Structure 1
Amino acid sequence: MHLIIVSGRSGSGKSTALDVLEDNGFYCIDNLPAGLLPELAERTLLQTEMLQPQVAVSIDARNLPSQLERFPDLLAEVRARHIQCDVLYLDADEETLLKRFSETRRRHPLTHETRSLAEAIRDESLLLGPIRDLADLQIDTTHLNLYQLRDSLKLRLLNKPEPGTAFLIESFGFKRGMPIDADLVFDVRCLPNPYWKPDLREHSGLDQPVIDYLAAQPDVDEMYHDIHSYLHKWLPRFAASNRAYVTIAIGCTGGHHRSVYLAERLGKTLKPQLKNLQVRHRDLQA
């Protein structure tokens, strides 16, 4: 059995996550009372006609606070049954969540006469702390549109060719914010920037002219070897500690040239060592 628990603040994309999982064969339940989680897992194991059932449930701030506080014990009870269980936590910055609610004009589940939308969003983060702290995978949806979120979910949750830790090397641009879901962050803004070369500006780190330019820079090559040496040594130890997901973020100014080039190069050289490894470019289309 494969159970995925989806949580996160309202407006972060939980409904989209359930839609993606349902489209990929998961039986999905929205707003499950957290206290029913062990019973749901047990009944699914006993009664399903599927050889390997796939179930996804959403547990969020609509639950009673006392149930959310019990989440660590409830999760441990499920995993004690030797059920593969992934906890996905989605979030976005407060400004983005406020904007999304303003655009949709939906009511936040925690708002009332004496609690504003901004206060509800902040309180929700505290309520969901027990789930967030145990999340196997956190995804920051601040800079993701609907289609990018769908692609990210498919890449991280569903595209795991082999069991074990799933690694993601992600390029990004600091001007659009550092990814809050990164486990390791490498800042490569000190390297020569192709943006200042007029003939390279419109290209990306995936294009041969930029690849040739950066490959010829001694500082770029030195940075690559230092990062590669660190990851080559330490990522297998992350895997040995039973981490389900590890995200390595490589950041330059705009996320178009240097970080893209290094993420691609690192991905190609580390892939033989780390089978469950993908490369993603967060800001390449920005």
Structure 2
Amino acid sequence: MQLVIISGLSGSGKSVALRALEDSGYYCIDNLPATLLPQITSHIGQQQRLAVSVDTRSAALEALYDNIAHLRAQGVAVQLLYLESNVETLVKRFSETRRRHPLSNEHTTLAESIVRERHMLEQLAEHSHRLDTSDISANTLRSWVRSFVSHDHSGLTLLFASFGFKHGIPLDADYVFDVRCLPNPYYDPALRPLTGRDLPVAEFLQQHAAVDRMYEDIQQFISRWLPSFVHDHRSYLTVAVGCTGGQHRSVYLVEKLAAHFQQQQQKVLVRHRQLGEVHDSMYRTNK
């Protein structure tokens, strides 16, 4: 049996993620008390794929970790997916929908409720694959969730993500590399509408020695420390590379890094936050 547990902050997109799994053939349950996890897995008949939403609304949240260990001991493949967003985005979403935050009351502001909820779930976040939904659309989130559940979760997956600093640093990154110091294809009118996945942009960046030095530094750093994360039994290591807009330089370097580690037989997943893409690699020849 495959069990996906979706958790995270209120307003971060858990309902969207759960519906995406339902559309993918999962039997889905929203807001299940943690104590019922063992029982539900033994009473859903022939269903082999189950998705459950568990968050601060769920009763007996403190029992979740023991029940996950119990299920894994029984051979259930449990995957934890944690969704989060920055405070500003969550405040905007609650304001637009006029929904009430589950922890809000007459004594706390919405922002204070969000911070409190993040604190309550921080232990769960540490043991989950995290997705920052601050700056992505619902369609992109659905795509990322489907990619997550279809990926091979045995061993460590190295996840490379490009992003634009002007849109904020992703919350789910383990390492963040700033490449805004590199030559920028944006200032070439012919390259401006393209991305780092397009061959003309790659050719432009390959002309500059600084780009190669930056790539070598990042690649060597990850290569040096990756065995330590494998030894620590990590499921995911997220490396974020950022440029100003998240369209050219960071995308190019993420693609090149992903190709290198794929050649080393490492499991790799690629996300381009500002492009709204998740894929495997590499450069496109079309303009």
Q: Does the C-alpha gap of structure 1 residues 118 and 225 become closer, same or farther in structure 2, counting only changes over 3 Å?
A: closer
Contact in 2 for aligned 1:71/1:131 (Cα 8 Å): no
1:49 corresponds, among 46, 49, 54, to 46
1:60 corresponds, among 26, 44, 55, to 55
> What residue number does 2:81 align with?
88
For residue 124 of structure 1, report the CA deviation from its aligned partner.
1.7
> What residue number does 2:23 align with?
23
Normalised by the size of structure 1, how large is the TM-score? 0.88
Q: Does the C-alpha gap of structure 1 residues 72 and 185 become closer, same or farther in structure 2, counting only changes over 3 Å?
A: same
> What residue number does 1:239 align with?
230
Amino acid at match of 2:54: I
Task: Show structure 1 runs of 5+ residues with no match.
Answer: none
> What residue number does 1:153 align with?
145
Task: Show structure 2 runs of 5+ residues with no match.
Answer: 278-287
CA distance in 1, matches of 2:16, 2:120: 22
For residue 164 of structure 1, report the CA deviation from its aligned partner.
2.7
For residue 198 of structure 1, report the CA deviation from its aligned partner.
3.5
Percent pairwise identity: 48
Q: Deviations over 1:206-241 (max 9, x none)?
A: 222221111010111111122222333433543343
> Could you say what secondary structure the match of 1:255 adopts?
coil
> What residue number does 1:204 align with?
195
> What residue number does 1:116 align with?
109
CA distance in 2, matches of 1:172, 1:221: 19
Q: Does the C-alpha gap of structure 1 residues 233 and 115 become closer, same or farther in structure 2, counting only changes over 3 Å?
A: closer
Q: Deviations over 1:249-280 (max 9, x none)?
A: 11111111111111111112221224531222
Contact in 2 for aligned 1:69/1:130 (Cα 8 Å): no
1:250 corresponds, among 230, 241, 247, to 241
Matches within 5 A, 1:1-286: 1-41=1-41, 43-44=42-43, 48-50=45-47, 53-64=48-59, 67-135=60-128, 137-158=129-150, 160-161=151-152, 163-284=154-275
Q: Does the C-alpha gap of structure 1 residues 255 and 33 become closer, same or farther in structure 2, counting only changes over 3 Å?
A: same
> Could you say what secondary structure the match of 2:148 adopts?
helix
Contact in 1 for aligned 2:164/2:274 (Cα 8 Å): yes
For residue 111 of structure 1, report the CA deviation from its aligned partner.
2.4
Q: Deviations over 1:79-129 (max 9, x none)?
A: 232321111110111111111111112222222333333332222222223
CA distance in 2, matches of 1:169, 1:259: 10
Contact in 2 for aligned 1:68/1:130 (Cα 8 Å): no
> What residue number does 2:282 align with?
none
How many equivalent pairs are there? 277
